[in-house]
Structure 1
């Protein structure tokens, strides 16, 4: 049976406190535990900006239920500074720490900058490096491209060869192509009208849920994360999306 994982992009938002999502009587140090009682997966954004120590990842592992799944966002040093080039040592460091999540490390998301144009050869070399890393090769890999030039058959074939997923990323700012390149589908919702700050309507969610249901029926695992954190919209939309998939 295919798996369904629906959650939010990040969980540690101060504007989710005071009843927006986290009850007033729950201290910030217990937010992850509370989040994990409501969702079975989360996308960690912190690793994009700074790479936590392995002990921090181990702590997250210990604080969450057995069936909880983490998505770790790839380091911006790899995607934005090195731009996927000569990354063997960086990959070793990244996964050397992320392995602290153990079996709960489900997916790694590589988000490329919008000014990074297609380089199929570099992408393939990077994918090959991932396959050679002991931790990475046992983890699903997802690529979120933000420049139009990446959305081409050559890139799709590279991803298909490695069974890596093209992120279906919805927003008004970046391309959104519904091309499936792996036996799992990764969906990211950044907000409809306002980036990170708009609430998806029930009709919009129903439309996207019907697409997800189709992919589920084809035997694919589905990973869905809402990144419209303003006003707690991400939580609200994630819960509704999950309901729609179960109905």
Structure 2
């Protein structure tokens, strides 16, 4: 039985036609999505800014308890590589605050070429924490982040949880007050569906993690629409196993 909250969702709230039966027929895509799934990851913020009014409209479209994770812009993570980015960081934080109490973690995904650089990381995390005291999750992809415990200790010092990504194989790390899974699809990243015999294991993993900390499980295998189905199956399974009522039966 879960002790901490569980948030299951997708990287984006599109509803592929083949999976529309999980959702009610009326309303915007976001309104329909949020009637069944409890969370979503906004990835479009990585590519372009959104107006404060847009974030406010999204927040008003979802029920109490729904949460948005928001991906930090590539201008900060990939182009500036976390250096000299106070101005774009301030703009981004000024926008996402209009999600109000619907705001979940900020997702910082680093490029695969970004090694662990303790001085640069410490400076950026200090800059971020001077401005934002909410939840932050970190997705590094360079091997240097995983060879010893130093990177995780630094993340934990700043209350930043390290993402457990699939494919990748590394368990969650960093701050232990939050667990965040990003399932990109395997063997083909962004495309592959998680097979029916794999999904029960994912549900068990999420349930076990929820005995330790709040858990997010985000499916990013969106290219062919698999994320929607996978997230709905996991969410339904977690509720059926816990004996709770789903908001909407698919």
In structure 2, the residue matched to 1:194 is: 188
Moved over 4 A (4+): none
Q: Which has the higher helix share?
A: 1
With a CA cutoff of 8 Å and minimum separation of 6, indicate the structure with the bigger relative contact order: 2
> Contact 1:21–1:232 (CA<8 Å) still a contact in 2?
no
Q: How many Å apart are 1:231 and its aligned residue?
A: 3.5
Shift of 1:244: 3.6
**Structure-1 residue corresponding to 2:9:** 7
Q: Figure out how many residues of one structure are paired with residues of the other and give that number.
A: 236
1:54 has 2:47 as partner: no
Query: Does the 8 A contact of 1:21 with 1:235 survive in 2?
Result: no
Unpaired stretches in structure 1, ≥5 consecutive residues: none
Question: 3-state DSSP class of the match of 1:202?
Answer: coil
Residues 37, 235 of structure 2: 8 Å contact kept: no
- How far is the alpha carbon of 1:209 from its aligned partner? 2.8
Q: Which runs of 5+ in 2 are unaligned?
A: 242-250
CA displacement at 1:26 relative to structure 2: 5.6
1:213: how far off? Answer: 2.3
> How far apart are residue 116 of structure 1 and its match?
1.4
In angstroms, what is the RMSD of aligned CA positions? 2.1
Does residue 1:163 correspond to 2:159, yes or no?
yes
Cα distance in 2, alignment partners of residues 66 and 10 from structure 1: 19
Give the alignment of 1:91-240 within 5 angstroms: 91-133=89-131, 136-137=132-133, 139-151=134-146, 152-171=148-167, 175-182=168-175, 183-218=177-212, 220-240=213-233
TM-score of the pair, normalised by structure 2: 0.87
Distance 1:224 1:179, change over 3 A: closer
Return the TM-score normalized by structure 1: 0.88
Is residue 16 of structure 2 the alignment partner of residue 21 of structure 1?
A: no
